[in-house]
Structure 1
Amino acid sequence: MTRLLLFWLLFSSLAHAEPRTPRPIDAHLQPAVFALTMVMIHDVANPPAASRFYTYCLLGAHDIVARHQKKIPSPSRLIHDFPLVSLDTKTGYDYQVAALYCILETGRQLLPSGYMLEEEQKKLLESLLKEGYSQAVIDQSVLVAQTVTKRVLTYAVADNYRILSTKSRYRPLKGDGYWFPTPPGYIEAIEPNWRIIRPMMLDSCSQFKPAPPVVFSQDTSSAFFALTREVYAVGNNLTDEQRAIAAYWDCNPFAINTSGHMMIGFKKISPGGHWMNIASLASSQAKLPFEQAIMVQSLVAMTLMDSFISCWDEKYRSNRIRPETVINRYISPRWQPLLQTPPFPEYTSGHSVISTAAAEVLTYLMGENFAFTDNTEIIFDLPERSFTSFKQAAEEAAISRLYGGIHYRDAIVNGQTQGRIIGQFIRQRIKQAGVTPIH
């Protein structure tokens, strides 16, 4: 955490350093979204919840810029029952400032440790004053942001998130083939009822159910045991490159390392947070105007949220056992995967689903051959990786789960199919709403 804190302080100081000449407001967007990520890392936001937080934090900003740019379709044309806020009586504000502040204000009120964003808001307003915005315009822009934030939070309250805490405590199903908590933490199942969360663009959580998983079997000649042997064999013969790929896409919000009787927890970025940063990096690389950059990141966030809802629906329907549990029971009691097994059922692979879906949407928006260098993991001392396309990055994210020893191949392949169908559905939906490719 010390290294993470030092990086955050360095990043924050760079993001808000006084430039020699006024910089466009575009430069404030990436730090604002990154500030959300840092709070989520602090809070150990689980993967599905993180995608929800990103979505609502960007939704208001998307709504604001859509009112001022005809090429940006309103969220009301994309998602279910999103309420419009009347801003006709609001004057004297700058919509870009309002959109930017809305991201932070929504995060401040929505995230468990949202108070941490207050300092970021203060620094932003100080920077805007130095860049020539009048106090009156800033004040009016903040009022608009607060108005839209209030409506976004009212919309968020109705998505069933609050109901999750009223559900009975989850108990693992009895049976040899069902998921059971895994070492070293034996953490309880994460978000077993996530399927009840209201989707943004999908019609329902089960709209795109994947093919059923290979049936569990203890028979050493069975298809299931062949999948298990593959995980075991790959894990025992990893190349340096495969280890690097697995580590890069680990994205475990809370990994536990053990030393004797001591356990040490390490906080990391979530899978959705990784793809949000890719969307941010790509927007900056393409030098997208402020409005388009917000739209891109908002659409990616909504795609991630819907993908997690669909994936989690399947996870707790098939409730399949993890490779680590099977291998320890039937092959090698001391075997450990390279990555820590996440605390939820195995099928389908979440990273495979959400990465493939996000790549489909980003490819539609920014092109088939958008080459980029991803530096998301440098804060965790992992070197940047370069890709020739979003789809190549998604392919690597998916196969990383086999290298890491936490997924069977059919969960990866069928997860990619599930994500591709979701991504293509969202592509068609945003296309019908008037979102055209940017490239």
Structure 2
Amino acid sequence: MKLALPIFLLSLVFSSAIATIPPDNRVQKAQIKDFGDQVFEISSVMLHDVINPPAASRFYAYAMLAAYQVVVANNETMPELSTRFKEQPNFAAVTAPQSLDKVFAATYAMLELGKKILPSGYMLQQKQDAYIEAYQQQYRMKNQTSAENVSYAEVIAQQVLAYAKTDGYGKLSTYTRYVPTQQNGRWYPTPPAYIEAIEPNWQYIRPFFMDSASQFAPPPPAPFSLDSGSSFHTQTMEVYETVKQLSEEQEEIANFWDCNPFAVKFTGHMAIGLKKITPGGHWMGIAGIACEKADISFDKAVLAHTLLALSLHDAFISCWQEKYHSDRIRPETVINRNIDQRWKPILQTPPFPEYSSGHSVASSTAAVILTALLGDDFAFDDDSEVYFGLPVRSFTSFYQAAEEAAISRLYGGIHFRDAIENGVAEGKALGQYILTKLALSAETSGK
């Protein structure tokens, strides 16, 4: 059985591909772009279903894993990630058809898994049909060939789906419900919709790489105190004053990284839901942009998407465990209660406890993974939010993008500084752990 490659070999996989694939390889780039487009089709269904950030990370992870299982089963040079999972899946070998088209089968498997796992996954059936028709026309694939590849992809997806069903997601509704209190320093629902806490039991979801949900728990947040000079009071005043004095650039940054899947705006007595992509969805979009620019092979693009998605999945488990452990109040609540009743954050406060910052954890984890695979100082133009009416932003590296995503939470008025800074450290530690775990796998692979 193949084991995962150490991260320096993962990097070589990518760097050698960049050196050998001609820049004008339009077919290769078109296949990677099309894969990214299909990932967005999954994101679109999540938008329709108003999937919350941790749940979205789970759906991306299993959908990408289905695609990667097609790739790794038919390319011996690709690392077998699943052998390093906390709980290894029992994926049986599936005989590929002689007519195998790996690009088609991997993409179809991803859509198939999304169709089976998402609440409104049935919406992807139309996308699958359209994909088959477009692929047949573009690559002159015969009906029999596409049917054989579809059957193969469905078997792969079914195996991944069976593994997904054992991760504890189906038991979440059986746990004791979270009940907020009015206790000083504790989280309480925020305006305008006062939505109940999202996924308070996410710590019970099985991680892919972590030993436990609390493995990368950050240090405790600053104790609640309204005493002048206390750390908490100083941070509270920083949020209060920062939002009041935002520059145009800072406001643009806050809105660009908002990634709130369902904000509520009231107009008179009418409530309007404003949907956006989740933090994980934003980084999946960045992965597509980067892979297309890098001129890597299709297989390696699927690897990048998959390792990113699996890592984001664990990042949200780590972060959500801490959120409901510390159960910390949001800036909006403490400021309205104690400083200024009329103060409002730029962004709508998300419906879950404050510490640590989810976007800080997830973005930092993503930056570690993508930097390891695609290199330092990888410049890119992020147009993943254009769909939502936001302008393109340019970055010189994944770390720069992650740092901006983190500080955006202060500009938006929804996080204290220690939740941001400790969240960044939490995400980086997790990302490095995942890379190390892959390397440790390879150290025993030659025995």
TM-score by length of 1: 0.92
Taking the aligned partners of 1:23 and 1:224, their CA distance within structure 2 comes to 50
Extract unaligned runs of 5+ from structure 1. 1-19
1:374 aligns with 2:382: yes
- Which of 112, 122, 125 is the equivalent residue of 2:119? 112
TM-superposed deviation, 1:78: 3.0
| 1:18-57 alignment, distance < 5 Å | 25-57=31-63
User: Percent sequence identity over matched residues?
Assistant: 50
Q: Which moved more, 1:414-423 or 1:69-78?
A: 69-78
* Paired AA for residue 307 in structure 1: A
State the distance in 2 between where 1:251 and 1:424 align: 25
Measure, in 2, the Cα distance between the counterparts of 1:202 and 1:23. 34
Structure 1 residues 332-373: Cα deviation after superposition (integer angstroms, max 9, x where no partner)? 011100000000000000000000010001000001110000
Amino acid at match of 1:348: S
TM-score by length of 2: 0.90
Aligned to 1:3: none
CA contact (8 A) 1:220 1:226 kept: yes
Does structure 1 residue 203 correspond to structure 2 residue 211? yes
- Please give the alpha-carbon distance, in whole angstroms, between the structure 2 residues aligned to 1:91 and 1:150: 21
State the secondary structure of the residue aligned to 2:274. strand
Residues 433 and 121 from structure 1, CA distance in 2 versus in 1: closer, same or farther, beyond 3 angstroms? farther
Superposition CA RMSD, Å:
1.7
Secondary structure (helix, strand or coil) at the match of 1:64 reads helix
- Residues 390 and 258 (structure 1), Cα distance of their counterparts in 2 relative to 1, 3 Å cut: same
1:88 counterpart = 2:87:
no
Q: CA separation in 2, counterparts of 1:325 and 1:410?
A: 17
For residues 98 and 312 of structure 2, what CA distance do their matches in structure 1 show? Answer: 35
Higher RCO, 1 or 2 (CA under 8 Å, sep at least 6)?
2
Q: Does structure 1 retain, via aligned residues, the 8 Å contact 2:194–2:351?
A: yes
Q: Superposition pairs for residues 38-187 of structure 1, below 5 Å?
A: 38-79=44-85, 80-88=87-95, 90-130=97-137, 131-187=139-195
Q: Which residue of 2 aligns with 1:286?
A: 294
CA contact (8 A) 1:59 1:75 kept: no
Q: What is the letter of the counterpart of residue 274 of structure 2?
A: F
Contact (CA 8 Å) 1:73, 1:433: kept in 2 or not? no
Instruction: Report the CA distance between 1:432 and its aligned residue.
Output: 4.0
C-alpha distance in 2, partners of 1:432/1:401?
35
Q: 2:253: which partner in 1?
A: 245
Answer whether contact 1:257 1:265 (CA < 8 A) is retained. Answer: yes
Deviation at 1:25, TM superposition (A): 3.6
Matching residue of 2:273 = 265
Between 145-154 and 170-179, report the one with greater CA deviation: 170-179
What is the deviation of 1:239?
0.3
CA distance in 1, matches of 2:27, 2:73: 29
Deviation at 1:95, TM superposition (A): 2.7
Q: CA deviation at 1:93?
A: 2.7
Letter in structure 1 aligned against 2:379: A
Matched AA of 1:97? F
- Decide whether aligned partners of structure 1 residues 145 and 317 sit closer, same or farther in structure 2, where only a CA change above 3 A counts: same
Structure 1 pair 385–434 and aligned structure 2 pair: CA distance change class (3 A): farther
CA separation of 1:276 and 1:433: change in aligned 2, threshold 3 A: farther
Question: Any conservation in 1 of the 2:96–2:152 contact (CA below 8 Å)?
Answer: no
For residues 95 and 180 of structure 2, what CA distance do their matches in structure 1 show? 53
Question: Retained in 2: the 8 A contact 1:370–1:389?
Answer: yes
Q: Deviations over 1:404-423 (max 9, x none)?
A: 00000000000000001001
Distance, in Å, in 1 between the alignment partners of 2:79 and 2:316 is 24
Tell me if structure 1 keeps the 8 A contact 2:262–2:273: yes
Does structure 1 conserve the Cα–Cα contact (< 8 Å) formed by 2:97 and 2:149?
A: no
Contact 1:62 1:75 in 2 (8 A): no
Secondary structure of 1:263's counterpart equals strand
Contact 1:73 1:434 in 2 (8 A): no
**AA of the residue aligned to 1:180:** Y
How many residues are paired up? 416
CA 1:21–1:329 in 2, change beyond 3 Å: closer, same or farther? closer
SS at match of 2:381: strand
Task: Tell me which residue corresponds to 2:19.
Answer: none
Deviations 1:81-119 (A, max 9, x none): 122222137543323221111011000111111111111
Read off the aligned partner of 1:113 and give its amino acid letter. S
1:223-279 deviation per Cα after TM superposition (whole angstroms, max 9, x unaligned): 111110000010110000000000000000001112232221111100000000001
**What is the 5 A alignment of 1:337-356?**
337-356=345-364
For 1:119, the aligned partner's letter is Q
Q: Structure 1 338/86 Cα, relative in aligned 2: closer, same or farther at 3 Å?
A: same
Which shifted more, 254-263 or 296-305?
254-263
Match of 1:308 in 2: 316
User: Secondary structure of 1:202's match?
Assistant: coil
User: Per the alignment, do residues 426 and 89 of structure 1 end up closer, same or farther by CA in structure 2, a change over 3 Å counting?
Assistant: closer
1:232 to 218, 225, 240: 240
Quick check: 1:85–1:148 contact (8 Å CA) kept in 2? no
Match 2:406 to one of 398, 416, 426: 398
